Amino acid sequence: MVSVAFSEKYFDSLLKLTPNEQSQANKAVMLFQQDPQHGGLHYEKLTAYKDGKLRSIRANQDVRIILAAAEKEELYLMLYVDHHEAAYAWAAKRKVEINPNTGSLQVFTVEERREEAAPAQPAAPTLPGLFDAIRDRQLLQLGVPEEALPLVRRMTIEADLESAYHSEQIPADAYEGLFMLMAGASFEEAYAEVVPAAPEAVDTEDYATALARPESQARFTVADDEQALQEVLNQSIEKWRVFLHPAQRRLAEGKKNGPVRVLGGAGTGKTVVAMHRARWLAENVASAPPSGEEQGKVLFTTFTRNLAADIRQNLNKICSRQALERIEVLNLDAWVVSFLKKQRYDYGLLLDAQQQKRLWEEAYAEKPATSDLGLAFFQEEWARVIQPQSIQSLDGYKRASRIGRGTRLNRQQRLEIWPVFERFRHLLASNHLKETDDVYRDARELLEANPELRPALCSVIVDEAQDMGSQAFMLLRALVPPGPNDMFIVGDGHQRIYGKNKVVLGQCGIDIRGRSARLKVNYRTTDETRKLAVSILEGVEVDDLDGGQDSQQFYHSLMHGPAPEVRAFEFMDEQAEAILAAIRNHGLAPEACCVIARTHRELGELKAALESRGQPCRQLDGRSASTPDGELNLATMHRVKGLEFDAVFVASVNRGLVPLAPVVNAAADAVTRRQRENEERALLYVSLTRARKLAFVYGYGQMSEWF
């Protein structure tokens, strides 16, 4: 039996074949692993090609698998599979090498040698090269193959680099370094990012060692035995299960000395990393009760219930049953409610907006006649000052920090308006209600006073961290004692959509210094859609969850497609027809598309318009079941968070709806107004970045002022 490894490209090419051909290719690989010399495989050396290591085997009469052989090591790399002629044409131009500088295993296209004839006339003035400021030696250090140097030197615009990447003339790891240089990074920055641990000496013949390096693991997966091979072949459909980017793998694996924070724009694989981290912890750190030494489980928390359901499903795909038993996935509200219930805590959560409104109106009656502050001001003050700081008394309020609030208040004013808040708290108590922040605080205080109540947890993983407030983080901190692997936090300030204050982890007892990272490659969205989404947030200051600022520098997508279509219609009916026409014309499956609107009410109108034209629709609700074939998904902007679709229709982007006028106009002051506007922008950013292939921005009547 021999070892077999697969390149990411192999699976891309495999998926282009018919299901029957795919299964024949799988059978051929399994047979090959048992007996490479098996007569039915026609193992053949392709010696006349650029790379003498290339071989082919037969999957059937017509389909060929191209592989590279490290025969001494009994290690074979499956690279590509296709019909006879196409497979050989692919192989003719490819080389597989261990990069002598970075040690990573690279597959790349070798350029045909160009005859550099002496120019008959003086050459026209040319653009400066993209990498003129970088020395050859530095390019090589970044992993550019020596043979690709002339090509890199000829690059003058971004499109040159892109096309070299897509034609595989530049291997993926080298492309990343070049991309960073082009986007303005210094050589040192790019090097630190792409080659974080350069090997001291590289043996360019030692394939097993090369495959074990993180840069290679991002593009190759090894199957040492039959069971591993079965697993790989079963998993090939979803690449994130197998091929983690080196930056993702570094975060997901290994001991961490304390809390880790991971930032990253939409679609950069934050949830994927968090899930792989959960698996690693489950396999290496956690223990399931009732084992003797109680390490405890991994708690994976999210902000919304929907995302928790998705994550549970996906963990099933990467974890063994044993590992799964050591991971608990819950949205934080669900965790805290179930914890408090066990402690006989006698309160309900105030979630009903109507009831909340009534209580506020009653409390507002306590406002002194001399004050002209509106009800909205009190609600904001409560949510952004009083609750996050757990203020329970007038004394506390007098001392409270009100940084970032738009309305100034002196001590006397605070004294005068305090009765409104006191009354509101009293009303909550007399109705046996608590807000989520209260519940988080109560749970934390309970845990602090009674450490024996602490659940057995070795680690807490937090997804969607940007939507969790400081009370939530203080509770999470109290759940697991400070120490190695204690917390793993992923989030994106660009996607904060639930009106929470920006959290400062350091102030919640979570010290992430020296343990933070940012993911930069968007795997979901085309670069065209990503750019439009990013442009909506232009000028908005985005935080890094720890009191600093985040940026989208070096954030990019490797996929391309048409620019999002932005169109204004006169009437809703035309908009609905255009959605259906786009689905038809692009050959899209309705169940792989989503129509997104800002409000439930507008979504209802859209649903009626689409259904009256014969299109069955499914409105996404709290449950996370898959949509039946032929039905079109409908969801609000809040609901699509964390999801993805082949195509999204961000619909009814009308003036007044986007940004939602009642929300923005109800702001008590200019600062709050800006915060709300930014959140409306974030909703649009979230919605657009759900698109895998195509995005549409449609409106009717008067289009939003943002388009």
Question: Which residues contribute to the site for ligand ATP (CB under 6 A)?
Answer: 239-240, 243-245, 248, 264, 266-272, 492, 495, 523-524, 642, 644, 689
Q: What share of the chain is helix, strand, coil (3-state, %, to 5)?
A: 45, 20, 40
Pick the closer one to ligand ATP by CB: 276 or 477: 276
Pick the closer one to ligand ATP by CB: 178 or 272: 272
| H or E element at residue 639 | none
385: DSSP letter: I
Cβ 159 to ligand ATP, closest distance in Å?
24
**What is the distance in angstroms between the CA of the first residue and the CA of the last residue of the chain?**
61
Pick the closer one to ligand ATP by CB: 218 or 579: 218
**Pairwise CA distance, residues 315 & 324, whole Å:** 7
Cβ 71 to ligand ATP, closest distance in Å?
30
Pick the closer one to ligand ATP by CB: 495 or 636: 495
Is 156 known to sit in a ligand binding site? no
Q: Rg (Cα) of the chain, in Å, rounded? A: 28
Pick the closer one to ligand ATP by CB: 177 or 491: 491
Residue 176 corresponds to which tokens in the numbers above?
Answer: 């990343």
Is 514 known to sit in a ligand binding site? no
Is 270 known to sit in a ligand binding site? yes
Residue 550 corresponds to which tokens in the numbers above?
Answer: 């985040």
Is 268 known to sit in a ligand binding site? yes
Dihedral over Cα of 682, 499, 437, 620: its sign: negative
Long-range pairs for 424-427: beta carbons < 8 A, 24 or more residues apart = 424/359, 424/360, 424/363, 424/378, 424/382, 425/392, 427/359, 427/362, 427/363
Pick the closer one to ligand ATP by CB: 272 or 478: 272
Hey, which residues does 567 pair with through a beta bridge?
A: 698
Pick the closer one to ligand ATP by CB: 221 or 387: 221
Cβ 162 to ligand ATP, closest distance in Å?
18
Do residues 453 and 223 make contact, with C-beta atoms less than 8 angstroms apart? no
Whether cis (ω within 30° of 0) applies to the bond prior to 659 is: yes
Cβ 6 to ligand ATP, closest distance in Å?
14
Residue nearest ligand ATP, CB atom distance:
269
| H or E element at residue 351 | none
HSE at residue 492, side-chain half, CA atoms within 13 A, is: 26
| 188: CB partners within 8 A, 6+ apart | none
| Tokens 């255009």 sit on residue | 578
Pick the closer one to ligand ATP by CB: 459 or 495: 495
HSE at residue 46, side-chain half, CA atoms within 13 A, is: 23
DSSP, residue by residue, 565-587: EEEEESSHHHHHHHHHHHHHHTT
Whole-angstrom CA distances from 175 to 245, 685, 702 are 13, 27, 43
Cβ 91 to ligand ATP, closest distance in Å?
25
346: DSSP letter: -
Cβ 60 to ligand ATP, closest distance in Å?
29
How open is the CA angle 392-397-399, to the nearest 5 degrees? 125
Cβ 523 to ligand ATP, closest distance in Å?
3
**Pairwise CA distance, residues 194 & 439, whole Å:** 44
Is 604 known to sit in a ligand binding site? no
**Pairwise CA distance, residues 380 & 400, whole Å:** 15
Cβ 193 to ligand ATP, closest distance in Å?
16
| 448: CB partners within 8 A, 6+ apart | 478
Cβ 460 to ligand ATP, closest distance in Å?
17
Cβ 689 to ligand ATP, closest distance in Å?
5
Cβ 327 to ligand ATP, closest distance in Å?
16
Pick the closer one to ligand ATP by CB: 268 or 306: 268
β-strands 593-597, 327-331 pairing: unpaired
Pick the closer one to ligand ATP by CB: 438 or 492: 492
Is 699 known to sit in a ligand binding site? no
Is 269 known to sit in a ligand binding site? yes
Pick the closer one to ligand ATP by CB: 631 or 646: 646
Cβ 519 to ligand ATP, closest distance in Å?
7
Pick the closer one to ligand ATP by CB: 260 or 386: 260
Whole-angstrom CA distances from 285 to 242, 266, 325, 328, 486 are 21, 29, 13, 14, 11
Amino acid at 141: Q
Binding residues for ATP: 264-271
